Amino acid sequence: MAAMLSIQGDWDQVLREAEGEVWVSCKIPGKPTIRGSLTSKGISSDGVLEVTTSEEFVVQEVTKNKITLSCPGENISSTFLSPYASFSNVHEKNVSYLDISSGGDLGVSSSTDQTFKVWETHNAEVKSVLEGHTMDVFCCKFFPSGQEVLSGGLDSLVKVWSVNDGSCLATLKGHRGSILDIAVVADGQNVISSGQDGTARLWDSAQGSCISVVDDSYSPINAIAVGEVGNSLNLGSSKEAPSKEVGTEGKLLILAREDKSLEGVSLHSRQSVFIFEGSDPFNCCTFISSVGVLAGDLNGNIFHVDIRNPKTAVETVSWSERPVLSLVPFRDTYIASYGNGTCYIPSKGSDHVLQLTGPQKQPVFQVM
């Protein structure tokens, strides 16, 4: 595990109090954790915090919602960013999944309070409540148009919804267990789901019919990702696709499995392209380029795999021993969320890490 700086999750609130104090720490593999504190000495006229530190740490920069700390003795630094907005009126319990529309104006989220809602991102006003799943909703995604939502749940159903009125447009039946992840292909005429039953299925989203079982194995498929790889590797011989199959050519489906394997399957030919063997169950995966895939596992490891040479990982990093729950590309890097509430954005070509704060040690199931 990499050396890591940590800070109290609500630091931005506590340090705005008179003499407010928060803990900080530096954890180095194989060494005792270095612990210290930050103490508020007031707020400047332009709203910036004035902070002092214990001797092991140095505050390099402070703004209204950002603080950069270093531990000179270990030659490590991190920047901590607090939320600029927080919404508590959408759900009453933990948010289990969320997505943001391509235009950025709408969010959709599911919760352990068994609610499933579409809301406006600027003020969290609920636009529609999506009712129809009989059990918890595990995953939800907007279609590229932003007018429909795809969902999957514990009830083994995949559903398509209208954003405008909250009506269910189609119900996709066929899985024999919980739906663990979903993906939209191209413009959304086709969608993919993966489940506890070990299958990945390609669907006609309008008719609600299963076009093909793309993969069928004994192991649950915890997460999937679809990427355009073009001619970067052999995707198998082409074939005449069913009439309802649209936009699958040149695309690779990544399957992150409970059996510790990460597999790439040609979405068009249905042929296996590669298998990468991990050391723990994989929880999440994402494309970061046409040839690069990231996968996070139960033991906190993030593997960077080049799909052209997948026998060994290009890089393996870990900032926590807790499970990696979500990975998404971000600019020229990525965001990773963990089961202990931490979210990391590594700097390309540098050891400096940006951390998103606020969840207070609660799992962050999804980042966007």
Q: For 282-310, what is each residue's pLDDT tens digit?
A: 999 999 999 999 999 999 999 999 999 99
Whether residues 61 and 143 share a domain: the answer is no
- The answer to whether position 168 is within a domain reads yes
Domain that holds residue 114: 95-337
SS3 of the chain: CCCEEEECCCHHHHCCCCCCEEEEEEECCCCCCEEEEEEEEEECCCCCEEEEECCCCEEEEECCCEEEEEEHHHCEEEEEECCCCCCCCCCCCCEEEEEECCCCCEEEEEECCCCEEEEECCCCCEEEECCCCCCCEEEEEECCCCCEEEEEECCCCEEEEECCCCCEEEEECCCCCCEEEEEEECCCCEEEEEECCCEEEEEECCCCEEEEEEEECCCCEEEEEEEECCCCCCCCCCCCCCCCCCCCCCEEEEEEECCCEEEEEECCCCCEEEEEECCCCEEEEEECCCCEEEEEECCCCEEEEECCCCCCCCEEECCCCCCEEEEEEECCEEEEEECCCCEEEECCCCCCEEEECCCCCCCCCCCC
Whether residues 163 and 286 share a domain: the answer is yes
How many structural domains is the chain composed of?
A: 2
Q: Residue 237 pLDDT more than 80? A: no
Whether residues 79 and 152 share a domain: the answer is no
Q: Residue 59 pLDDT more than 80? A: yes
Whether residues 152 and 21 share a domain: the answer is no
pLDDT value, residue 232: 75
Q: Using pLDDT thresholds of 50, 70 and 90, give the confidence band for residue 359.
A: confident
Least confident of 32-36, 112-116, 193-197: 112-116
pTM as predicted: 0.94
pLDDT in tens, 259-287: 999 999 999 999 999 999 999 999 999 99
Region 162-179: mean pLDDT is 97
- The answer to whether position 77 is within a domain reads yes
- The answer to whether position 88 is within a domain reads no
Mean pLDDT of the chain: 94
Whether residues 225 and 308 share a domain: the answer is yes
pLDDT value, residue 30: 87
pLDDT value, residue 186: 93
Whether residues 183 and 268 share a domain: the answer is yes
Q: Residue 66 pLDDT more than 90? A: yes
pLDDT value, residue 225: 99
Q: Residue 139 pLDDT more than 80? A: yes
